[in-house]
Amino acid sequence: MIITPQEKLTVTYEGDEIIFGGRYNEQTFAVGEGWTQAEVLDFVVNDARIEVCADCDWVADADRESVEFASNGDVACQGCFDNAFNYASTVWLVPAHGESERFLVTDYGVYEAEYLERVDAAGIERGYVHSSGWRGYFETRVDGYTEVTAGWTTGDWGDAISERKQSFNEWAQALIEGEQECPFDVAIVFDPTSNVFSTAIGVWVDTRQAEDFDAWLNGHRDVLEEALA
Ligand SMILES: [Zn+2]
């Protein structure tokens, strides 16, 4: 039995009246006591694989609709999953030898950026830090790495502030693209902020190499810090 989004269906089961129908924005599930939406739907659509989106409560028949499984076991509908990439953090892992790799971090997990395959073992983790009231910010960390400098940057908009930012942007780009030789394993983290024009930056280095990295940066550290301030 398949219930379309337009249908309404009321069943009584063990004294509970259960109403089905409406999905997403017009969610009208009345769930009997002790029943989850997924269990109720499994009861009616007894051969369906029912999953409920952890974010918007969309009830999906996983055999007919695409759903995504998050690292923490949550299920996301395709819409919420795709939308989360609008708020993704970006992590570039720049190894001392070899090609840089880009990862995207959403609320659902860490994804290798090219094919969006989930990689749970990348050692990258994002949290949300509540600062005051509703405000807060994303903070992405890399296992085994130490943050050496942090701040924020923006694109090149031609004004004085963005001009100052370009010395960091150019340095990071040269590092990522391998134009700048660097004998250390570095991670550059870009976290979105509440201001769409600015991005929080963290420069991380393999913890065992942190001191050497600092020495290697030498005078350039001031330039970077000034740019990121
Ligand atoms: Zn959803």
Block means of pLDDT (10 residues each) for the chain, 229 residues, are 49 61 42 57 66 84 84 91 94 93 95 92 90 86 94 82 86 92 93 87 94 86 85
What's the CA-to-centroid distance between 56 and ligand 1, angstroms?
A: 4
Which 3 state secondary structure label does DSSP give 74?
coil
What's the CA-to-centroid distance between 80 and ligand 1, angstroms?
A: 4
Give residue 194's pLDDT: 84
What's the CA-to-centroid distance between 126 and ligand 1, angstroms?
A: 20
What's the CA-to-centroid distance between 45 and ligand 1, angstroms?
A: 20
Cα–Cα distance measured from residue 81 to residue 86, given in angstroms and rounded to the nearest whole number: 10
Nearest to 150 by CA among 225, 211, 93: 225
Give residue 52's pLDDT: 84
What's the CA-to-centroid distance between 192 and ligand 1, angstroms?
A: 21
What's the CA-to-centroid distance between 60 and ligand 1, angstroms?
A: 9
What's the CA-to-centroid distance between 166 and ligand 1, angstroms?
A: 38
What's the CA-to-centroid distance between 130 and ligand 1, angstroms?
A: 23
What's the CA-to-centroid distance between 53 and ligand 1, angstroms?
A: 5
DSSP lists the bridge partners of residue 174 as: none
What's the CA-to-centroid distance between 103 and ligand 1, angstroms?
A: 23
Cα–Cα distance measured from residue 190 to residue 92, given in angstroms and rounded to the nearest whole number: 8
User: Which amino acid is residue 227, in one-letter code?
Assistant: A
What's the CA-to-centroid distance between 75 and ligand 1, angstroms?
A: 8
Cα–Cα distance measured from residue 227 to residue 229, given in angstroms and rounded to the nearest whole number: 6
What's the CA-to-centroid distance between 227 and ligand 1, angstroms?
A: 39
Model confidence, pTM: 0.78
**Cβ contacts of residue 192 below 8 Å, gap of 6+?**
87, 88, 89, 138, 199, 200
Q: Which residue has the tokens 């001392």?
A: 96
Cα–Cα distance measured from residue 187 to residue 182, given in angstroms and rounded to the nearest whole number: 12
> CB atoms < 10 A from the CB of 200, how many?
20
CA distances (Å), 20 to each of 3, 6, 32, 183, 217, in order?
Answer: 8, 10, 11, 61, 62
Which 3 state secondary structure label does DSSP give 190?
strand
Give residue 24's pLDDT: 35
